Amino acid sequence: MAGGLTHLNEKGEAHIVDIGDKAVTRRRAVAQARLVAKVETIAAIMGGSLKKGDALAVARIAGIMAAKKTSELIPLCHPLALTKVVINIDVEDMDAIRIEAIAETTGQTGVEMEALVAASTAALTLYDMAKAIDKAMVITNLMLVEKSGGKSGDFTRL
């Protein structure tokens, strides 16, 4: 371990850390992202004539499929078999959408990265669909909300 970073050895070289001796437990993580945009952009994504449109479904599917790709994207993540993925998308303020991603597995390592990748990809997919009308949107508050299972203990953002 180098400087506290578990993914680097004492020489600072990256590796996938050994989890072969860790217990198989039920693990869960919840992450979120916030997409801040103009009021009209939020309305275009969430409401009005689009109520029956695919916009939120596309973002949900993107988040779900990205969760399954996490170990291809984050170089030092262990591959794992997700047992559940849920994406919730809600208006938080007139100018902000909140994306929540829930990931679960039964295995030897946690699913924090899967939840974070799902939340950021769903948010970026909303950006992609609305960027023709508003390039200045910002994704913020991309973070872990809670985590349970595994030896390192539970985490809940206060």
Q: Which residues are catalytic?
A: 128
Going by the annotation, the residues of the binding site for substrate are: 76-78, 113-114
Q: How far is the CB of 65 from a second copy (least distance, A)?
A: 6
| Residue 20-59 contact track with a second copy, rule CB under 8 A, x = bound | x-----x-------------x--xxx--xxxxxxxxxxx-
Q: Using an 8 Å Cβ cutoff, are 81 and 107 in contact?
A: yes
Residue 97 or residue 112: which is nearer to a second copy going by CB?
Answer: 112
User: Mapping DSSP to helix (H, G, I), strand (E, B) and coil, where does residue 23 land?
Assistant: coil
Going by the annotation, the residues of the binding site are: 76-78, 113-114
Binding status of residue 12 toward a second copy by CB under 8 A: yes
CA 30/CA 101 separation, integer angstroms: 6
User: Mapping DSSP to helix (H, G, I), strand (E, B) and coil, where does residue 4 land?
Assistant: coil
- Pick from 30, 42, 82, 99 the residue near a second copy by CB under 8 A: 82
Binding status of residue 96 toward a second copy by CB under 8 A: no
How many chain residues touch a second copy (CB under 8 A)? 94
Binding status of residue 124 toward a second copy by CB under 8 A: yes
One-letter amino acid of 99: I
CA 117/CA 60 separation, integer angstroms: 12
For tokens 């997700």, name the residue. 82
Please give, one letter per residue, the 3-state secondary structure of 29-87. EEEEEEEECCHHHHHHHHCHHHCCCCHHHHHHHHHHHHHHCHHHHCCCCCCCCEEEEEE
Residue 48 or residue 94: which is nearer to a second copy going by CB?
Answer: 48
- Region 129-148 residues binding a second copy, contact defined as CB under 8 A: 129-133, 135-144, 147
